[in-house]
Amino acid sequence: MKKMMVTGMALLMAAVLLFGCQAEKGASGEGKPENVQLTVSAAASLKDVLTELASEYEKDHPNVTVKFNFGSSGALQQQIEKGAPADLFFSAAEDKFNKVVDKGLIEKSDSVKLLENSLVLIVPKGKNQQIDSFQDLTKDIEKLAVGKPESVPAGKYAKETLTSLHLWSKVQSKLVYGKDVRQVLSYVETGNVDAGIVYRTDALSSDQVEIGETAENDLHTPIIYPLGIVKNTKHREQSEEFYQFLQSDRAIKAMEKYGFKKG
């Protein structure tokens, strides 16, 4: 009898200890969201608004950190094709985005044409020079900055615009190429060039430049910003949630504040 009581007490204590451990484990780990870092490859022209939106999103989703890889859409497209880690791709050009889709790296059903932009001619603010139109680029100016047409969508749109206006061949000797649109903006801000061609949103982000002229839409390919979820993302659920957030009224209003238009 005594032996049975001792055995019973031992079993009871073991059960209490086991229950306590399970309860502690449940309180500390069970139901706690996984910490996730999302990597978003995005066009350089989206830097300001996406940085702002990510900060807001992280406050509402403390388990998610959004990391950006900003650059020219062409360079980002090539990186994704070579297997660089990315959960979402936000391009400033449909052709670059479509190449990723055509290679099966993004499903069409996981993509959306989210934004539109326009192209403008800019000059350093307060500098005494008469550059009020694209036609003025044939005047006595030394340097004109544009993005590399092969990899920078803004550069491609600039070339299309100047070609449509029969000016491309006339400004060849003046061209200074930037690796992305933000570098072109920087060249103009610092006065290293006399003028540059960038997106309207980039011009509006700076108090050191002035807009000379806005390119008519029929002078270049439509400036569309597609967004999509990369097929091999390791964080499908969180990627979909951020993808939906970027399409929300809250996010669109922020983008419109920076000069973008809803696509």
CB of 254 within 8 A of CB of 128? no
Tokens 């993302």 found at: 233
Torsion angles phi and psi, residue 123, rounded to 5: -135, 160
Contact 72, 147 (CB under 8 A): yes
Where exactly are the structural domains of the chain? 36-116+224-262, 119-219
Residue 42 β-bridge partners: 70, 90
This prediction has a pTM of 0.82
Contact 178, 184 (CB under 8 A): yes
Instruction: Compute the distance between CA of residue 7 and CA of residue 4 in angstroms, rounded to an integer.
Output: 5
Q: What is the spatial distance between Cα 134 and Cα 122, in angstroms, rounded to a whole number?
A: 10
Which one-letter amino acid corresponds to residue 27?
A
Give the separation between CA 263 and CA 223, rounded to whole angstroms: 10
Specify the DSSP element, H or E, that contains 70: strand 64-71
Binding residues: 45, 73, 154, 181, 199
Q: Which amino acid is at 24?
A: E
Q: What is the dihedral of CA 219, 220, 223, 228, to 10 degrees?
A: 160
Half-sphere exposure of 60 (CA within 13 A, CB side): 8
Binding site, annotated residues for molybdate: 45, 73, 154, 181, 199
pLDDT tens-digit series, residues 215-235: 999 999 999 999 999 999 999
CB count in 10 Å sphere of residue 99: 19
Query: Do the Cβ atoms of 215 and 200 come closer than 8 Å?
Result: no
Domains 36-116+224-262 and 119-219 agree in fold:
yes
Please provide the CATH number assigned to the domain covering 119-219.
3.40.190.10
CATH hierarchy code of domain 36-116+224-262: 3.40.190.10
- The distance of Cα 216 from the centroid of its chain, to the nearest Å, equals 25
Which contiguous run of DSSP H or E holds residue 144? strand 144-147
Sign of CA dihedral 64, 70, 76, 79: negative
What is the full per-residue pLDDT of the chain (263 aa) written as tens digits? 444 444 444 444 544 444 444 444 444 445 667 899 999 999 999 999 999 999 999 999 999 999 999 999 999 999 999 999 999 999 999 999 999 999 999 999 999 999 999 999 999 998 867 899 999 999 989 999 999 999 999 999 999 999 999 999 999 999 999 999 999 999 999 999 999 999 999 999 999 999 999 999 999 999 999 999 999 999 999 999 999 999 999 999 999 999 999 98
CA 55 vs CA 58, 61, 182, 247: distances in Å: 5, 10, 21, 16
Q: Crossing angle, helix 181-189 and helix 153-164, to 10 degrees? A: 70
Place of tokens 């419109």: 256
Q: Which tokens in the block code for residue 149?
A: 């047409």
Residue 108 DSSP class: E
